A = this chain, B = another copy of it.
Amino acid sequence: MRIGVIASIAHRLPPVGYGPWEQVASTLTEGFVAAGHEVTLFATADSTTTARLHPTAPHGYEESPGLDAKAWEGLHNAAAFERAGEFDVLANHFDFMPLTYSRLVDVPVVTTIHGFSSAAILPVYREYDDVARYVAISDADRHPDLHYTATIHHGVDPAAFTFVPGPGTYLLFLGRIHPAKGTHAAIEVARRAGQRLVIAGIVQDQAYFADRVAPLVDGEAVTYVGPVGPAERDSLLGGALALLHLIDFEEPFGLSVVEALATGTPVVATPLGSMPELLRQGVTGFLVKDVEAAVAAVAEVATLDRRVCRDEALTRFSAERMVRDHLRVLERVVGESRT
């Protein structure tokens, strides 16, 4: 197939630091190329790929204050749709705006919804529901008003994560530092469980960090290491006793959760959003309703079989499986559009 991939231009591909949408789009793009397809990637100019790169914004707009996000988003989406005739299908990984161009071209567009930033953007998804082919990233994230063509869980490259057979020596929080991500809950659970906690990730909510996180970071019981790149991420995940993912929102998918599993590290998580789809209770981690249950889970987590966690990542959450699932959808949509 001739596939045009519309990536997010918030960050480059693959992302250097934060960038889950960009990470998934990058993994898919490389996978499509490896599977022998003719792929054009619409992404920032500083992205790297084995596909043909159609560069739009010079850098990710989240990383370059001089770039107007709206202006570059318009140029970026337009570039893809102006070249639509060259593709059999467009794979949209950049939110709702590409939908608004989709009726102006003949090529089918498959839109993977990486999450709803707000209910206020739903009018666009509803308007294009009849023509769009929506892919959900978890069943939990399916919106009842919309029709989906598939649910495809994210996958990670198992080679990028080193399996560590024995349980680690600290608990890990890995993600955006934000109340919804439960950084404060992780600190409390670690303290009550008598375990060290390492916190890694970008600070998304400065006031929250200053009020509820920073005062408890002492460099011993609680350490904050900032945002981490792929290598440090791998070693932090692999060396942990468990990943604490005590979210307070319906998370559509938790990439760090399956990355932890890929290193053999089990996960203690709140049963919200996609978590019950990603974790097997008492096998690859524990779904816990409150701090008390989380503390109890931490006491048991070393008994879980880390090999089973790794195997779960290899079978259910590998990049290969994700690429295959997306290709199956793209092929089906191309086939339908030709009949």
User: Residues on A close to B: CB < 8 A?
Assistant: 66-68, 70-72, 74-75, 77-78, 81-82, 96-97, 99-101, 103-105, 118, 120-121, 123-124, 127
Whether A74 pairs with B97 at a CB distance below 8 angstroms is yes
Contact check: which of B70, B96, B105 meets A104 at CB < 8 Å? Answer: B105
Q: Which residues of B contact A75 (CB under 8 A)?
A: 100, 123-124, 127
Complex: A78 Cα to B124 Cα, angstroms: 10
Q: List 25 A-B contacts (CB under 8 A).
A: A66-B120, A68-B120, A68-B121, A68-B123, A70-B97, A70-B121, A71-B96, A71-B121, A71-B123, A71-B124, A72-B123, A74-B99, A75-B123, A75-B124, A75-B127, A77-B100, A78-B100, A78-B101, A78-B103, A78-B104, A82-B104, A100-B101, A101-B101, A101-B104, A104-B105
Whether A82 pairs with B103 at a CB distance below 8 angstroms is yes
Copies of this polypeptide in the complex:
2
- A9 → chain B closest CB, angstroms: 12
- A92 → chain B closest CB, angstroms: 13
Top-5 shortest CB links A-B: A68-B120, A78-B100, A104-B104, A74-B100, A71-B121
Complex: A97 Cα to B75 Cα, angstroms: 9
Complex: A67 Cα to B103 Cα, angstroms: 23
Q: Which residues of B contact A103 (CB under 8 A)?
A: 78, 82
- A55 → chain B closest CB, angstroms: 13
